Amino acid sequence: NFSLKGRTYVVMGVANKRSIAWGIARSLHAAGARLVFTYASERFEKSVRELADTLEDDTSLFYECDVTDDDAVTKTFEDIKNDVGTIHGLAHCIAFAKKEDLQGEFVDTSRDGYLLAHNISAYSLVSVARAAAPLMTEGGGIVTLTYLGGERVVKNYNVMGVAKASLDATMKYLANDLGKDAIRVNAISAGPIRTLSAKGVGEFSTILKKIEADAPLRRTVTQEEVGDTAYYLLSDLSRGVTGEIIHVDSGYNILG
């Protein structure tokens, strides 16, 4: 039985209807899960609540959580524990880099920009996993979102590629630590999708066109396709899988 009825999942990083996190939320909801949304600041609260309102029989809960603040992360999961008790998994869909660091040459990345990108995009998974693990009393799944630019050089992706490489390794070390508590940690390497964050990457349209021309499936992927893979990784369907990176990218990563 792979229904998620009676299960609760935390979804971090819904900014608007184009967010990959929203695709994940819809897949989990369709499978019967109850959802807990976290958003970076008050600025996003209204749009997250409005989106959740569109879900059938919505029972979602909402919390502010700026992942650069350890106390905020701890408090968020304490609040979630008090309000819902046990959670069964979490989707971490959070990243950030300065726009100036997502164009031109990587060699020009400032110390500030480098640390900021790693803080929000990679360390946040450590801090969130530490705070969330005690709530997964029946075991659980953690999924993060990564990109090919962490495995090889992708033009303009620059400091975010280096942060994704760190995120990939972070995911594996966490999988090793948390496996003894029956918590699995995996990543989805999504192909490029037009979102708020993607707007920051220089020449993003060119990247999309390349996928349409060259990827084995000759098309880009959707938030829904990433969402369904997250459902697989957060459900018992994937119960033997941890420390894995699954590419949901129309097969683009196999090309030399």
Q: Which residues are annotated as a binding site for NAD(+)?
A: 13, 19-20, 66-67, 94, 164, 193-197
CA dist., res. 89 & res. 173, Å (int) = 18
Binder of ligand 0WD out of 55, 61, 165, 198 (CB under 6 A): 198
The site map against ligand 0WD for 19-48 (x = CB under 6 A) is: xxx-----------------xx---x----
Q: Does 252 bind ligand 0WD (CB under 6 A)?
A: no
- List the binding residues: 13, 19-20, 66-67, 94, 97, 164, 193-197
Q: How many residues bind ligand 0WD (CB under 6 A)?
A: 26
**Which one of 123, 147, 231, 252 is the catalytic residue?**
147
Alpha carbon of 38 to those of 21, 88, 107, 210: distances in Å? 10, 16, 34, 33
Q: Which residues contact 42 (CB under 8 A, 6 or more apart)?
A: 64
Instruction: Between 63 and 232, name the residue whose CB sits nearer to ligand 0WD.
Output: 63
Q: Does 14 bind ligand 0WD (CB under 6 A)?
A: yes
Q: Does 102 bind ligand 0WD (CB under 6 A)?
A: no
Instruction: Between 21 and 87, name the residue whose CB sits nearer to ligand 0WD.
Output: 21
63 is catalytic: no
CA dist., res. 66 & res. 45, Å (int) = 12
Cα 86 → chain centroid: 21
114 is catalytic: no
Q: Does 162 bind ligand 0WD (CB under 6 A)?
A: no
CB of 37 to ligand 0WD, least distance (A): 8
Binder of ligand 0WD out of 24, 33, 91, 94 (CB under 6 A): 94
Q: Does 193 bind ligand 0WD (CB under 6 A)?
A: yes
Instruction: Between 28 and 94, name the residue whose CB sits nearer to ligand 0WD.
Output: 94
CB of 173 to ligand 0WD, least distance (A): 18
Q: Would you name the residues annotated as active-site residues?
A: 147, 157
Residues in contact with ligand 0WD by CB under 6 A are: 13-15, 19-21, 39-40, 44, 66-68, 93-96, 120, 145, 147, 190, 192-193, 195-198
